[in-house]
Amino acid sequence: MAYLDIKEKIPVTIVGGYLGSGKTTLINFWIKGSEKFKYAVLVNDFGQINIDEVLLSSGDGLVIGLSGGCICCSIGSDLMSALDQLSAYHEAIDGVVLEVSGVGLPKAISAAIELDGRYHSKDIVCVVDSNRVGRQIKDPYIGDTVRAQLDQSSSIFMSKLDLLDAQAREKARALVEQLAPDRRWLSHCDVPGSMETREVNQSSQDFDAAKWFNPVPQDFASESFELARAIDEDSLRDFLKQTGRHLLRIKGVFQLTSGKVVLLQGANDFIDICEWRGTWGGVGRLVYIHHRDWTESLNFKRELSALMEASL
Amino acid sequence: MSTTTIYPAKRIITMNPNRPVVEAVAVRDGRILGAGSVKELQTWGDFEVDDRFIDKFILPGFVEGHCHVSAGSLWRFAYVGSHSCTGPNGKIWSPVKCLEDLIVRIREATPDKPTAYVGWGFNPASLTGFSCSRQDLDRVSLEYPVVVLHASLHIASVNTKALEIAGYLRQGIDHEGIPLGPDGLPMGELRGPDAMHRVTEFLGLNGLMLSADEQGIRTFGQLCVRNGVTTAADLANPLDADATNALLRIGNEEDYPVRIVSMLRLLNASPEGVVRRAVELRDLGSDQIRFGFIKLVLDGSLQGFTARLRWPGHYNGAPSGMWYTAPEQITEILSRALEAGVGVHIHTNGDAATELALDCMQVALKKSPCLGHRFTIQHAQLATQAQFARMRELGLCVNLFVNHIYHWGEFHRKETLGPERAERMDACASALAERVPLAIHSDAPVTPLSPLFTAWCAVNRVTDTGRVLGEAQRISVHQALSAITLGAAYTLNLDGECGSIESGKRADLAILSEDPTEVEPMGLKDVGVVGTVQNGRVFLN
């Protein structure tokens, strides 16, 4: 394995903070706001991943769920496996955002990332629920966890400030300042990519299904279609409404019977169809990912093919 | 008409209070037709007498309430533990007591043309002054990686070649889990799954730590026969399509000797998704392979200092451990599981984690009232009398990790807990006094699978230096035997089906060479296991 100079390493931004503090919302915001920069997102949370994939669906990011790996470890060999998987994308991504579980502590994760010679732990962001932090740090069960999450961070992002009046905001800020002094305070605009110096690989407007999600992580399977003909939007929407919840992600560029060329993006039962502004070569592509053990995958494929034929 | 086979024995201890001791058991269609005198059993009609157990002692087949099928995977490597151990094929592995033993063992136990030398079960804590550097292991091989997995499975000692393969043979490594030598290079110990990853990946072990491949599942079956186990709970399996299919394929083979209850440990799904998957799996199960349980992990381990302890915390001042699941998520899973009718087994080691489990269960039960759920707290090593009382109030069962007393008791006394709390670890007597349904377990491969050894620990509470740790928490031989049969079966909702020898139940028997109720309590672990009968089929060692 080659050992890279820090400038050649992929920067990793670790996003921690207690369950419900708004980590996913922040990451989603970053991804939406950074057209130029491409992220791989690693999600390490019991409970949130399905929701995350919906929320994160608007970006071009690669989302890999970490399964926890070991019976009694919060990080394990599956983080390392995910980093291995990601190495196939080094040319295509500019950074990795790793979402820590809601009770996870980021320091050990940072050490694990550094151990892999190809990555560099760039920043540890703690997302703080400004409305709840005062109560959280006094909680007999999770108080020390929330304090440790703050203590182990290098940057702070205060979420949900809009729920507080000016006085309460100031109080929350002062509390966090006291628990974690001298940290960098982030705003929404501080997208990690905006601070990157790494050369960016920008072929983003050409949708290439083969590059998108390939190789697919072990537990998932993907299918890809060429769409030589236009599709009826209503039938497609109806079909996906019934069956789309089994898909982890679906994405495609194709022509509708109305003549419009569109970009379809979705995850679970969330589907978004909008006008495609990239290049159009006359042949549509559709790609989707599902859990490998989804028993209905063959039927789905068959019905989707039938739908495309019917749209003639 | 089906055949009836009557097995007379020297003595049959049924665990059925109506007929505690009988002389024979009659088996028909894989079930127990009756337990009584040969003369009485003959009255059921046509029969044949099989007297192969005539000089043996029979107990209900043992129920291991907390182990891992992955225990079968490790036996393809050299056992290097500090205590003698019998392998699945009957080979007796002598203890490894010094570095020379270790080197000789790994060399001898590895086939002629290896790609790696692997040992497992290493426990330097029980061997004074014994450390193991990469240079020591270089004596086994310079050419191939040498990897010695410690008993905890969380630490590996490796040679120089293995470090090179992992990419760690370089200056400037800064990781708590990789101690460096005076030369600035790693000394050879890799602590924690992240540090071990590249080595375990190279060996193909990563997928085997939680589930097992076909060979591992078969070996696990042999290991069960060897130890009198006819039902085993596989406590944390990801149960993806591959793992589920492998279990069903092997487990449903005609001569697979053990019933496995495999519990789902799924992390990358919402609480709702976890419960939904458990319900789906429940319907996929078979007679031998049962699903429909969820494993939930609240904290880490005592020996790894990752358990959540209440005040005053660790005896040696180490910081408290960490949470693995947030309280909100615990409560939601419990509540949804109560509603869906799937069982939840909750891992807690520290007393703070046990308290959290109780608090979450109380909230969940208020939201989703349910009688007879039999949710079980697993390990609960520091549970107090007051916590056992709450378990009873909430309808919870407990499965205590009594093997810890022998394997780590001295360590907990000196480092983790101090003398007083070490004495009340795995408090079986308190649990029974509070009338909490009790099981005891090995957590194999963390400690070796052997319910008789586990019962021995609960009865004697002796550490590996011979000290009695917590005399007041000793339980009787009968109570311990009940915990490894009916007690464990109860936590799996199988007590109506197995766990005692009585008419109507599964013909699940442990065939022993001595009477465990007659030997000296200190001899309980040495009672020989001749084999098992499971669903009426005979498996001899």
Highest mean pLDDT among A60-74, B123-137, B156-170: B156-170
- Give the chain B residue nearest A79 (alpha carbons): B194
Whether A209 shows a pLDDT value over 70: the answer reads: no
How confident is the model at residue B344, as a pLDDT?
Answer: 98
- Does residue B382 sit in the same domain as residue B458? yes
B490-519 residues touching A, CB cutoff 8 A? none
- Does residue B458 sit in the same domain as residue B311? yes
pLDDT (mean) for A60-71:
50
With beta carbons under 8 A apart, name residues in chain A contacting B173.
Answer: 115
How confident is the model at residue A188, as a pLDDT?
Answer: 64
Look at A97 and A227; give whichever has higher pLDDT.
A97
How confident is the model at residue B351, as a pLDDT?
Answer: 98
- Give the chain A residue nearest B172 (alpha carbons): A115
pLDDT (mean) for B512-531:
97
DSSP string, chain A: -PPPPTTTSEEEEEEE-STTSSHHHHHHHHHHT-SS--EEEEE--TTTHHHHHHHGGGS--EEEE----STT-SS-HHHHHHHHHHGGGTTT-SEEEEEPPTT--HHHHHHHHHHSTTEEEEEEEEEEETTTHHHHTT-TTTHHHHHHHHHT-SEEEEE-GGGS-HHHHHHHHHHHHHHSTTPEEP-TT--GGGG--SPP---TTS--TTTTT-SPPTTEEEEEEEE-S-B-HHHHHHHHHHHGGGEEEEEEEEEBTTS-EEEEEEETTEEEEEE--S---S-EEEEEEEETT-TTHHHHHHHHHHHHHHT-
The model's confidence at residue B203, banded by pLDDT at 50, 70 and 90, is confident
Q: For residue A29, with 0-12 CB atoms within 10 Å meaning exposed, 13-18 middle and 19 or more buried, which class applies?
A: middle
How confident is the model at residue B135, as a pLDDT?
Answer: 95
- Does residue B283 sit in the same domain as residue B413? yes
Nearest to A47 among B173, B235, B271 (CB): B271
B157-216 residues touching A, CB cutoff 8 A? 167, 170, 173-178, 192-198, 200-201, 206, 209-210
Instruction: Identify the sign of the CA torsion A181, A186, A191, A193.
Output: negative
- Does residue B299 sit in the same domain as residue B438? yes
In a domain, B201, yes or no: yes
Query: Considering chain B, what is the average pLDDT of its residues?
Result: 94
In a domain, B373, yes or no: yes
Task: Tell me the three-class secondary structure of A139-180, residue by residue.
Answer: CCCCHHHHHHHHHCCCEEEEECHHHCCHHHHHHHHHHHHHHC
Out of A6-10, B292-296, B537-541, pick the least confident.
Answer: A6-10
pLDDT (mean) for A129-153:
95
A170-209 residues touching B, CB cutoff 8 A? none
Q: Among residues B192, B303, B234, which one has the least CA distance to residue A69?
A: B192
How confident is the model at residue A45, as a pLDDT?
Answer: 47
- Does residue B364 sit in the same domain as residue B482? yes
Report pLDDT digits (tens) over B41-81. Answer: 999 999 999 999 999 999 999 999 999 999 999 998 999 99
How confident is the model at residue A214, as a pLDDT?
Answer: 32
Please indicate if any CB of chain A lies within 8 Å of the CB of B273: yes
Split into its structural domains, chain B has a count of: 2
Whether A72 shows a pLDDT value over 50: the answer reads: no
Judged by CB atoms closer than 8 Å, whether chains meet at B325 and A3 is answered as: no
A259 Rama sector, left if φ>0, alpha if ψ -120 to 50, beta otherwise: left
How confident is the model at residue A212, as a pLDDT?
Answer: 38
Please indicate if any CB of chain B lies within 8 Å of the CB of A4: no
Judged by CB atoms closer than 8 Å, whether chains meet at A75 and B194 is answered as: yes
- Does residue B431 sit in the same domain as residue B331? yes
- Give the chain A residue nearest B352 (alpha carbons): A141
Distance from B233 to chain A by nearest Cα, in Å? Answer: 15
- Give the chain B residue nearest A64 (alpha carbons): B268
Q: Could you list the residue range(s) of the whole structural domain that residue B384 is in?
A: 263-499
The model's confidence at residue A30, banded by pLDDT at 50, 70 and 90, is confident
Please indicate if any CB of chain A lies within 8 Å of the CB of B362: no
Q: Is the ipTM of this complex over 0.85?
A: yes
- Does residue B319 sit in the same domain as residue B403? yes
How confident is the model at residue B268, as a pLDDT?
Answer: 64
How confident is the model at residue A243, as a pLDDT?
Answer: 76
How confident is the model at residue B57, as a pLDDT?
Answer: 98
- DSSP-assigned beta bridge partners for residue B284: none
How confident is the model at residue A35, as a pLDDT?
Answer: 59
CATH number of A219-310: 3.30.1220.10
Give the strand pairing for A284-291 and A220-227: antiparallel
pLDDT (mean) for B197-208:
83
Please indicate if any CB of chain B lies within 8 Å of the CB of A91: no
Q: For residue A271, with 0-12 CB atoms within 10 Å meaning exposed, 13-18 middle and 19 or more buried, which class applies?
A: middle
Question: What token pair was written down for B465?
Answer: 């230096």
- Whether the CB-CB separation of B234 and B541 falls below 8 Å is answered with no
d(CA B134, CA B188): 4
Distance from A295 to chain B by nearest Cα, in Å? Answer: 10
Whether B206 shows a pLDDT value over 90: the answer reads: no
- The top-level CATH class assigned to A10-212 is alpha beta
- Whether the CB-CB separation of B490 and B482 falls below 8 Å is answered with no
- CATH for B281: 3.20.20.140
Highest mean pLDDT among A57-66, A75-84, B232-241, B329-338: B329-338
The model's confidence at residue A194, banded by pLDDT at 50, 70 and 90, is very low
- CATH for B157: 3.10.310.70
How confident is the model at residue A36, as a pLDDT?
Answer: 62
Every domain of chain A and the residues it spans: 10-212, 219-310
Instruction: Report helix, strand or coil for B448.
Output: coil
Whether A46 shows a pLDDT value over 60: the answer reads: no
pTM summary value: 0.83
Percent of chain B with pLDDT over 90: 81
Please indicate if any CB of chain A lies within 8 Å of the CB of B46: no
Report pLDDT digits (tens) over B109-145. Answer: 877 777 899 999 998 766 666 778 999 999 999 999 9
> How many pairs of residues across A and B have Cβ atoms under 8 Å apart?
135
How confident is the model at residue A57, as a pLDDT?
Answer: 36
Judged by CB atoms closer than 8 Å, whether chains meet at B193 and A102 is answered as: no
Look at B279 and A280; give whichever has higher pLDDT.
B279
Distance from A142 to chain B by nearest Cα, in Å? Answer: 8
Instruction: Report helix, strand or coil for B105.
Output: helix
pLDDT (mean) for B83-90:
89
Distance from A255 to chain B by nearest Cα, in Å? Answer: 34
Query: Considering chain A, what is the average pLDDT of its residues?
Result: 74
- Whether the CB-CB separation of B433 and B424 falls below 8 Å is answered with no
Whether A205 shows a pLDDT value over 70: the answer reads: no
With beta carbons under 8 A apart, name residues in chain B contacting A69.
Answer: 193, 209
Question: What token pair was written down for A302?
Answer: 């068959």
Judged by CB atoms closer than 8 Å, whether chains meet at A103 and B322 is answered as: yes
- Whether the CB-CB separation of B133 and B187 falls below 8 Å is answered with yes
How confident is the model at residue A311, as a pLDDT?
Answer: 57
Report pLDDT digits (tens) over A79-129. Answer: 887 788 777 777 777 788 888 888 888 998 898 898 888 899 999 999 999
- DSSP-assigned beta bridge partners for residue B534: B537
How confident is the model at residue B499, as a pLDDT?
Answer: 98
How confident is the model at residue A269, as a pLDDT?
Answer: 55
- Does residue B372 sit in the same domain as residue B476? yes
- Does residue B386 sit in the same domain as residue B487? yes
| Helix (H) or strand (E) segment spanning residue B351 | helix B351-367
B218-237 residues touching A, CB cutoff 8 A? 235-236
Q: For chain A, how big is the Rg over CA atoms in Å?
A: 21
- Does residue B371 sit in the same domain as residue B463? yes
Question: What token pair was written down for B538?
Answer: 């005979």
Report pLDDT digits (tens) over B248-276. Answer: 999 999 999 999 999 998 776 778 888 98
Tell me which amino acid residue A48 is. Answer: Q
The model's confidence at residue A204, banded by pLDDT at 50, 70 and 90, is very low
Whether A258 shows a pLDDT value over 90: the answer reads: no
Judged by CB atoms closer than 8 Å, whether chains meet at A72 and B328 is answered as: no
- Does residue B79 sit in the same domain as residue B160? yes
Nearest to B306 among A67, A72, A76 (CB): A72
pLDDT (mean) for B346-373:
97
With beta carbons under 8 A apart, name residues in chain B contacting A68.
Answer: 265, 267-268, 324
| Helix (H) or strand (E) segment spanning residue B252 | none
